[in-house]
Structure 1
Amino acid sequence: MAIKSFMRLAVTGAVLAAMAACQSSDPKSADSSEAAKGDASIWPQIESQVATDPAIEARIADILSQMTLEEKVGQMIQPEIRHLTAEDVREYHIGSLLNGGGSYPNADKYASVEDWLEIADAFYEASVDTSDGSTPIPIMWGTDAVHGVGNVVGATLYPHNIALGATHNPELLEQIGWATARELAVTGIDWDFSPTVAVARNERWGRTYESWSEGPDLVGDYAGEMVRGLQGEPGTDDFMGEGHIVATAKHFIGDGGTLDGIDRGDTTGDEVHLRDIHGAGYFTAIEAGVQAVMASFTRWDGIRMHGHKYLLTDVLKDQMGFDGLVVGDWNGHSFIKGCTATNCPASVNAGLDIFMAPEPDWKELYANTIQNVKDGDIAMSRIDDAVSRILRVKLRAGLFEAGKPSSRPLAGKKELLGAPEHREIARQAVRESLVMLKNSDQLLPLSRDLNVLVTGDGANDIGKQAGGWSVTWQGTGNTNSDFPGATSIYDGIKQAVEAGGGKVQLSDNGSYISKPDVALVVFGEDPYAEMQGDIPNLAYKRGATEDLELLQMLQKQDIPVVALFITGRPLWVNRELNASDAFVVVWQPGTEGVGVADVLFRDNAGEINYDMTGKLSFSWPQTPDQVPLNVGDDNYDPLFPYGFGLSYGDKDTLGDNLSEEGLKVAETSDVLTLFNRRPMDPWGIEIVGVENDRVVMNSKSITSSTVSVTAVDRNAQEDSRRVVWNGEGEGLVALFAPERQDWTGYIEDKAALIFDIKVDQAPTDTTYLRLGCGSYCASDIEVTEGFRDHLAGNGWQTLSVDLNCFPTAGENFGISQPQDEFMTQVLRPFSFVTEGELDLTFANVRVEKFKANSALVNCQNQ
């Protein structure tokens, strides 16, 4: 597709003027400069079951007395493995490290256990090297094993927390913690950034699935049990014994209660609400002896948690008696007023003990923190307190006596990764977590001797059923081969049916060879992780209907339909409920999809194999905009209440006539978000090179013949996309939808396309912003001079373009396509194309109604 093939709009002058007037879109902190004040006495005094040990305290004092300032600050810096060497550990006295989601030894997704242990040993040996006179202090390695060891191929992955909440089985959490710790220990890692004890109160939040419940009581019941599973039973030899690791309660505090469910946003409610709703998990975790607490990105009372002295020090440490360490979250200190990623005394003074500093500039943070102490901006007493807490955790964990990671009892025991006893725990969790919302005529449980059709895009996709934090950070870019030993939902169904003499057919689209007795349709949310899962409302796939059409097609053929819904939160699925005879929420079951079939099918003798026992730990909405929705609210009126879940003995009276009017709410939003930290469903990212090589982005980076895209950090981890053209021919990057979208309403309501952009290398050839409806039509605005003269090298800017500036399309193909017709079939609403070299990064792409008149590029009067 040559550039000259497409119609152009000559509005360069307007674009230039608009770009010249652009203001930087870099966010400024709104944190208050005043320290928050409160009455810490309203918070409970908690007695940890891990008692103070005078021998450990004496040893802390002795070690501390031998340490230099440089050694102390090194203990407080936590780099990421991609930017850390053993020599760095030795030179800078680094006390801990992490590997983020999707980060592996040698950047190898398939790194072996030996690879993990090799670099763990290297870091350890550097940390205890005394050849230069340094104080030997073992390093500690942390990772996000939030539903099993998500970064190691072959590990057991458990259902995500929202599913575990539906089991209402606290004892099961201790078993999961125990098994997770054992598999972590195989790799030499000794610190888990888990459990997440958030009480999610708004399901638009993309981390809802990391929360056990909207109810604080259930979260409180679970948190302590999970900590005991990971760390061992306090007061016994089991505590921090063989196969146990350091646990972390996160994210302190209120991460599940932000306004509109926006990740890293403002937590709502007064201090009593903060305590009674969001404190529950910390109370039981501290009592169970949790050794680490991670600070939240969120803000309460005008101050972000990484700089909230009242909550981190006065409440958590002093009032509640937490004597472990407080670790930051992924450069979270950089969001504090007056701070940068490389200089933040305010966080230390507030009570942060360890900076999580995952970028290459962590050495600047180290040097600046030393200087902060010398300049008197941080008191030495605060440094000593932080390092004492770090040493206390390491001593309690037995790291000073443990030896190098490869020498520890479970290290290298590959047979423990995905061990049968661990998988059985996960399979039990799947069975107990399933929630049945509908069962017309008691269709379920099914006999095993049927002709069963298994269909839907989630039927045989372990990556989809595992969700985020599964091998990769977002859980995307995986195939079934990335989960050796695991079973898909289809695998489990096939085993059960064939064992009972039945027949199984698998198809993606509902096709079959012989008409089935029943169809099991597996569909739902695609994987996502933090930030990238935030949504504007609770409508399931509002712009895409393929799942609904599949259900309806099967029903029209008089085939009984069982819907198996993969999801990380309650969503508005009235249409899908109406189109199903039975509807079961399977959540994100992890690697043991076989557990689904355990419950759906009777045994070979025709008896109930396992009853449906799962009960909702989140309320289910009646409409897409019924959020927040939490048990105990005034006028509480959900479609399915907290605690709902049919068992096989219950009679279902739901019917097939649920209101579908909520679809209008979802489709008429004044703001259509296309990209917010990730492409928002149904949008995706694609590139097309000069060789017509089209690549869809489902991993951290993609490359074609002339253009590449990489997920990069702007304000948060991987919240932006950097696009680079190599100048060897035409290349296109686009946000695209699988089906054409009707945007005439946005034209009628005077909408603008708005996006944040940073141009690091000016274009060397003509460049266009394109709105397209496929390969045969597109409408372009030339932006070459604007990018070159006003954006290049000037950091982040926000641009807004009146949609009316995109004209008719297709004239060069002999097609006269008026704008109103063109806007009924939008496929690529945001794309850039050039034949030259260009380096830009974009973020936060949306369409907003009633913004055309105020758009920087305005065509309302043309």
Structure 2
Amino acid sequence: MRAKFKALVGVAGMTACAIGAPIAAQQAAAPNASAVANPANWPQLPMKLKRDPKVEARVEAMLAKMSVEDKVGQLIQVDIASIKPADLETYKFGSILNGGNSAPNNDELAPAPEWLKLFDAFYDASMKRSDGRPKVPVIWGTDAVHGANNIVGATLFPHNIGLGAMRNPDLVRKIGAATAAETAATGIDWSFAPTVAVVQDDRWGRTYESYSEEPEVVAAYAGAMVEGIQGTIGRDFMKPGHVISSVKHFLGDGGTGGRDQGDTRVSEAVLRDVHGAGYMTSLPAGALTVMPSFSSWNGEKMTGNKSMLTGVLKDRWGFQGFTVGDWNAHGQVPGCTNEDCAAAINAGLDMFMYSGPGWKQLYANTLREAKDGTIPRARLDDAVRRILRVKVIAGTFDAGRPSARPLSGKFNLLGAPEHRAIARQAVRESLVLLKNNGGVLPLKPSANILVAGAAADDIGQASGGWSITWQGTDVSNKDFPNGQSIWSGIDQAVRAGGGKATLSRDGSFTAKPDAAIVVFGEKPYAEFAGDRATLEYSPEDKSDLALLKKLKAAGVPVVAVFLSGRPMWVNPELNAADAFVAAFLPGTEGGGVADVLVAGKDGRPAHDFKGKLSFSWPKRVDQYVLNRRDANYDPLFPFGYGLTYAAGATVPVLDETKPDVAAGDASQFFGRGRAAPGVMLEAGGALTSARVDRRAQEDSLRFVFKGGGDGRVALAAGTPRDLSREANGQLSLVVEYRVTAKPQGPVMLAMENNGKSAAVPITAALNGAGSDWATLAVPLSCFASKGVDMTKVARPLVLTSASALGIDISDVRLAMAQGPMACPSK
């Protein structure tokens, strides 16, 4: 398989010398490197998708008849949560999208027919015109990143980190095709995938969206996934059942130091040889769209970097498709706002991705700039030409209404048996066996097996982020009607072998089992919500470790199945288990885990372990930058490690000591009875405070506002916090509280930065709360709209009342709130 990887990389034009360069040395030497690329330093790519004279003639004929208003409309994509179908009767926008938490009727559990019905409505409005100018159909983009993951009933495949462990590009191609077919069943014609980040710091919350830390693995997969999604040029390219692919995030998103939307400080050579690897194969495979990154390269936002978007991507590489921005990313370009950013278009962005109520302002500003020459006519026409070209190639003009397309409405494709079989194979091949001391695995199917752990019967946790909801939270097994939990798969396999399996979340039992499988791991998250300070697994809650130790102390052989979006420091958990399986985020086909762990009726392995680590596994909690070509490379398990039944090894007792490193959750401001590191609690005025219990002894604070004066409670950040990405990502300030005495007057919740305070009333919420613990969520946008500079928040919470009030507070954090977002008005 390794030979195949190198051959695929060679096709991309990347030499062995380039890929094998001393990466760490180049990174270390580049803290002040330029952000201007020299296209001559980049290889020319063997692009297979050539310009078709018939397509070009059709595009030019339309372009000649379009007004400036029509052209500007094509440059804008709006989230369905911010726009209605009727709006497209007037505003002929190029695209719509559903953001991570957007769905028909504002219902994330909306059935598939509702998605198709809504797309028909948007399409019909986009085609409604009588002025004789060209009718240009709208296209719908969605994040189908591990299956058609927004749709209830879809097959959810392992996330990319698990696919990377398979080392099987052919299976990746099948996964892309199955995902495209299930996406097309809802009429949607554009998938924002694949992610081809080459992650170098595993603290990043999007690590699981990366195939590997190694560019050669990413290069081998990127082209294969694009061919699966779009079809293969010269064979079934963009035929019915295939959808438009978007390669993301261009470029360097995996090198931001573990911070989402951060700054990749590397030389141009590292940017090319490491982070550019996925583009070397995906673009020649015919990827029709590319999504520039939120992140920066050497201090300059990629969305505004002309040397990369135009100089390298379009001029040097000859990319003929179009670029689409990430979620309001253009607003982060210097001098821009979400509603005004000619600079991004002039740099080479072809389509804005916009969310929010101000899309009319974005249109008006862009139209003005197109008319006054701020956006040159040639640049405007180039962007529109590219968008039209993709729509023609994709068959959008000829396919008719979404519901009339060949696969539309064939909802039996969602979770189809053949797709589930592909996913189950992917689960089997993605599992990495880290430890099997004493040959505990495979388990005899005739045995008495205890299945424990919070994640054993939780399909949502096994699927991770981007699973029905953006963060993958607030879902239950019933929301995956075609899926199977890991517990269900084990139970089925053991019963088929004549044994007995028992589910016990806490590991309790009456009769001692022959063995126990404990399924545990990270709770779902997506994007910046998953950024971490260290790679220690669950530093604040050691209940999973206690469960492993309890079973081991009872003399029960313990098999740990660990779910995670990245390699993590789990030395204590490894020591407490006899066998340890890194399952990453396997998705909806939990039976694939049982296929490998449970032997056949003859007692022999039904399937051997095939997975090999695509990310190095840390020996110490501070090894978050741990890549094969780094200096002083010293992992616990190296890149490519993975035991098999045929070739096992004994893992010795591991060191459990931890260096004194910063820890904690950057999104948590207060919890467990204390302010988070770097945050100080301030309380003053007419109030008293005391410690009270909620989940544990003295883990909450009670505030009694006496009235007759200004009572004030605040959380002050030692260093002002940049919450702009969280505000843009529609997060809320979430307070878990309990009212002990109803407010006798107005109560305000505010956020402050230097010189500016923005407050919203929360009196009604507190009056409506009962005596139990409750949750208040105020969108960060409420504070931003009132003038708070979200890049410099000094006090993320200020609670004030001049009247009597009793309130307990246990947690203050940033999170995605449930239900519709609204600013409190009273």
TM-score, scaled relative to structure 1 = 0.78
Match of 1:146 in 2: 145
- Pick from 227, 237, 240: which aligns with 2:238? 240
SS in 1 for 2:144: coil
Query: Counterpart in 2 of 1:51?
Result: 50
Counterpart residue number, 1:721: 733
- The 3 A distance-change label for structure 1 pair 279 and 672 is same
Answer whether contact 1:619 1:638 (CA < 8 A) is retained. Answer: yes
- Counterparts of 1:373-522 in structure 2, within 5 Å, are 373-522=370-519
8 Å Cα contact 1:198-1:278 kept in structure 2: yes
Instruction: Give the match's secondary structure for 1:73.
Output: helix
* Contact preservation (8 Å) 2:520, 2:561: yes
Residues 574/74 of structure 1: CA separation in 2 closer, same or farther (3 Å cut)? same
SS in 2 for 1:390: helix
C-alpha contact 1:76 1:386 (8 A) present in aligned 2: yes
Separation (CA, whole Å) in 2 of partners of 1:722 and 1:549: 30
Cross-structure match for 1:249 = 247
Who is 1:367 aligned against? 364
The alpha-carbon distance between structure 1 residues 758 and 230, as it changes in their structure 2 partners (threshold 3 A), is farther
> Following the alignment from structure 1 to structure 2, what is the Cα–Cα distance between the partners of residues 121 and 760?
41
Give 1:411 shift. 0.5
Please show how residues 191-340 of structure 1 align to structure 2 within 5 Å: 191-236=190-235, 238-259=236-257, 261-340=258-337
Post-superposition CA distance 1:748-797 (Å, at most 9, x none):
xxxxx999996332576999xxxxxx999xxxxxxxxxxxxxx9876656
Question: 1:286, 1:314 → 2: CA distance?
Answer: 15
Q: Displacement, 1:543?
A: 1.5
- Which residue number corresponds to residue 67 of structure 1? 66
* Cα distance in 2, alignment partners of residues 292 and 529 from structure 1: 23
Pick closer, same or farther for the CA change 1:208–1:724 going to 2, 3 Å.
Answer: closer
Superposition deviation, residue 35 in structure 1: 9.9
How far is the alpha carbon of 1:49 from its aligned partner? Answer: 1.4
2:679 matches 1:675: no
Partners of 1:755 and 1:583 in 2: CA distance? 47
Listed as ranges, the matches of 1:703-782 within 5 Å are 715-721=727-733, 730=742, 759-761=758-760
SS of residue matched to 1:665:
coil
Among residues 828, 843, 846, which one is paired with 2:810 in the alignment? 828
In the alignment, structure 1 residue 658 sits paired with structure 2 residue 654:
yes
Report the CA distance shift for 1:282/1:312 in structure 2 as closer, same or farther (over 3 A): same
Q: 1:573 aligns with which of 570, 575, 585?
A: 570
Match of 2:529 in 1: 532
- For structure 1, the 5+ residue unaligned runs are 1-33, 685-691, 696-710, 732-752, 768-773, 777-790, 803-811, 813-825, 833-838, 842-862
Cα 1:801–1:339 change in 2 (3 A) is: closer
By relative contact order (CA 8 Å, sep 6+), the higher-ranking structure is 1
Write the distance in 1 (CA, Å) between the matches of 2:724 and 2:590.
Answer: 33
The answer (yes or no) to whether the contact 2:734–2:812 under 8 Å persists in 1 is no
For residues 464-506 of structure 1, what are the alpha-carbon distances to aligned partners after superposition, in whole Å with 9 as ceiling and x for unaligned?
A: 0010000000000001000002100000000000001101111
C-alpha displacement of 1:101? 1.2
Q: Any residues of structure 2 matched to 1:773-792 within 5 Å, and which? A: none
How far does residue 188 in structure 1 lie from its aligned partner after superposition? 0.4
Counterpart CA distance in 1 for 2:670 and 2:325 is 24
Return the letter of the residue paired with 1:255: D
- Decide whether the 8 Å contact of 2:520 with 2:562 is kept in 1: yes
Look up the equivalent residue of 2:667 and give its one-letter code. Answer: F
Residues 156-176 of structure 1 show CA distances to partners (whole Å, capped at 9, x for unaligned) of 000000000000001111000
Tell me the secondary structure at the aligned position of residue 294 of structure 1.
Answer: strand
C-alpha contact (below 8 Å) 1:88/1:94 kept by paired residues:
no
Where structure 2 has 5 or more consecutive residues not aligned to the other structure, the ranges are: 1-32, 677-691, 696-722, 744-750, 774-784, 798-805, 815-821
Contact 1:333–1:340, Cα closer than 8 Å, also in 2 = yes
What is the CA distance between 1:730 and its match in structure 2? 4.0
- Superposed, 1:555-704 pairs within 5 Å as 555-655=552-652, 657-662=653-658, 664-666=659-661, 669=662, 672-675=664-667
Whichever residue aligns with residue 378 of structure 2, its letter is S
Shift of 1:244: 0.4
Counterpart secondary structure, 2:311: helix
Deviation at 1:725, TM superposition (A): 11
Q: Which amino acid aligns with 2:480?
A: F
Q: Is the Cα–Cα contact under 8 Å of residues 486 and 593 in structure 2 kept in the other structure?
A: yes
Structure 2 counterparts to residues 30-41 of structure 1, below 5 A: 36-41=35-40
Rate the CA distance shift 1:488–1:762 in 2: closer, same or farther, 3 A: closer
CA deviation profile, 1:592-644 (whole Å, cap 9, x unmatched): 00000000011112221000110000000011111210011111110000000
CA contact (8 A) 1:568 1:588 kept: yes
SS of alignment partner, residue 287 of structure 1: coil
CA distance change for structure 1 residues 725 and 214 in 2, over 3 Å: closer, same or farther?
A: closer
Task: Write the deviation string for residues 725-747 of structure 1: whole angstroms up to 9, x where unpaired.
Answer: 9999749xxxxxxxxxxxxxxxx
* Contact kept in structure 1, 2:752 and 2:788, CA below 8 Å: no
Cα displacement (A) at 1:713:
7.2
Q: Which amino acid aligns with 2:158?
A: P
The answer on whether the counterparts of 1:758 and 1:840 sit within 8 Å (CA) in structure 2 is: no
Letter in 1 for 2:567: P
3-state secondary structure, aligned to 1:374: helix
CA contact (8 A) 2:737 2:810 kept: no
For residues 540 and 477 of structure 1, what CA distance do their matches in structure 2 show? 22
Question: Could you tell me how far apart the structure 2 residues matched to 1:304 and 1:213 are?
Answer: 24
Q: Is the partner of 1:559 in helix, strand or coil?
A: coil
Q: How far has the Cα of 1:283 moved from its partner?
A: 1.1
1:36-95, CA deviations, whole angstroms, 9 ceiling, x for partnerless residues?
A: 533211111113211210111111111000000000000000001112222211211111
CA contact (8 A) 1:758 1:794 kept: yes
Structure 1 residues 726 and 624, CA gap change in structure 2 (3 angstroms): closer
Q: 1:725 to 1:648 in 2, by over 3 A?
A: closer
1:799 CA displacement: 3.8
Q: Judging changes above 3 Å, is the alpha-carbon distance between structure 1 residues 586 and 348 closer, same or farther for their aligned structure 2 residues?
A: same
Q: Greater shift after overlay, 50-59 or 80-89?
A: 80-89
Tell me by how many angstroms 1:113 deviates.
2.4
By how many angstroms is 1:131 displaced? Answer: 2.1
What secondary structure is seen at the aligned counterpart in 2 of 1:519?
strand
TM-score (norm 2): 0.81
Shift of 1:139: 0.9
Q: Are residues 73 and 728 of structure 1, via their aligned partners in 2, closer, same or farther at CA, if it must alter by over 3 Å?
A: farther
Instruction: Give the match for residue 169 of structure 1.
Output: 168
SS in 2 for 1:175: helix
SS of equivalent residue, structure 2 residue 527: coil
SS state at 1:226 partner: helix
Distance 1:158 1:683, change over 3 A: farther
Contact 2:216 2:277 in 1 (8 A): yes
Pair 1:385–1:626, CA change in 2 (3 A)? same
